[in-house]
Amino acid sequence: MAWLRAWLLAAFMALALGACGEKKPITSESFVFGTRVEVQVAEDVPEAQVRAAVAQVLAEFDRMHRTYHAWQPSELTQLNDALAAGQRVHVSSEMASLLLEAQQFSKLSEGLFDPGIGKLIALWGFHADSYAAHLPEPSAINAWLKSHPSIAQLKIDTNDAGTWVSSRNTQVALDFGGSLKGTALDRAAAILRAAGLNNALINIGGNVMALGTRYGSAWRVAIQAPRYAGPLAVLELRDGEATGTSGDYQRYFEVDGKRYPHLLDPRTGYPAPGVQSVTIVVDGPSAGVRSDVLTKPLFIAGSNDWTAMAQRLAMQSVLHVSDDGTVSVTANLADRLKFQPHDGKLPDIRRLSP
């Protein structure tokens, strides 16, 4: 299981750091968003204060998971049902904010990030906790492409009575799976800082945000190698930075020896080929959600066009692994990564010019 693989990698890093003889952060774990969650807090305060704040974080994660679940009954499935029926529906202010933000990200990425493709995700069987190795019928993919649903086709109206959402395209179905973990990182950071906890590491299935330091030392995180169980590289995160990875090893199935990941290209209706993984590092406002969202268009753009997409997204810290195993890294990130040996050898690195 992909989440277990990532979790074992996180455990490897924790053991490596624990061997240094430093004080150990207070650590809490949970399972939400279909993955393992870990919050480490490195503060010299009463443990009860830390546990109370982290409990708020985990409760918020659970609320978000239940509210925006794409296939179990939720506020999101109610909205999708209304859109499928051609109805105009009232939504919460939080839902409206998420939709408007997603529309902006979709426009910025030229539609390569598009939470409006929920029915395509369902066609591929990824609207489930477990999925079979089964290809959808080409005719079903072609029918979906012909209808061309997109989050851009949502009409969002706000007045004194609230916010209303509608679409003329009844094939639009929303899925926040490409952004919700990042949004949750931002929420967690806000909750911890409000509680006076400014030194923490939040890990939601490999989407990670750092606050402050680990008792004066930088938070160190491992970047998963896409084709073996171990770290490709280790990175020290700075205060307020977040890192996210999209990979073809996280949710996928194989048919006749070919891998089909959950990262779907809205232009073709098929999983994006040519890439094993993309990792980015971002900082500043909304670092969490940007670290989650912006890996998707970089992955879907493919090995030939990802650098142009990175420029469009103003992404300067990118680690890209193509389907042949070529490792490329932007100059801004290269000096911060400590690549790890595998089978006694370091990977060959293609360093890109600024």
Give binding residues as ranges: 178, 292
φ/ψ of 290, rounded to 5, equals: -65, -35
Task: 302-306: list long-range contacts, CB under 8 Å, 24+ apart.
Answer: 302/272, 302/273, 302/274, 302/275, 303/274, 303/275, 304/274, 306/275, 306/278
- The one-letter code for the residue type at 2 is A
**Strands 35-41, 26-32: parallel, antiparallel or unpaired by DSSP?**
antiparallel
**Binding site for Mg(2+): residue ranges?**
178, 292
Instruction: Name 208's bridge partners.
Output: 203, 243
Pick the closest to residue 33 from 150, 242, 154, 178 (CA basis): 178
Residue 67 half-sphere exposure toward CB, CA atoms < 13 A: 14
Q: At what angle do helices 180-194 and 47-67 cross, to 10 degrees?
A: 150
Q: Phi-psi region for residue 86, left (φ > 0), alpha (ψ -120 to 50) or beta?
A: left
Pick the closest to residue 177 from 255, 244, 132, 235 (CA basis): 244
Q: At what angle do helices 93-108 and 75-84 cross, to 10 degrees?
A: 70
User: 64-89: string of b/e by CB count within 10 Å (b at 16+)?
Assistant: bbebbbbbeeeebbebbebbeeeeeb
Say how far apart CA 30 and CA 47 lie, in whole Å: 18
Pick the closest to residue 310 from 99, 100, 104, 112 (CA basis): 112
- Measured in whole angstroms, the distance separating CA 76 from the mean position of its chain's CA atoms is 18
Say how far apart CA 93 and CA 315 lie, in whole Å: 29
- All residues at 6 or more sequence positions from 104 whose CB lies less than 8 Å from its CB, including other chains: none
96 near 234, Cβ under 8 Å? Answer: no
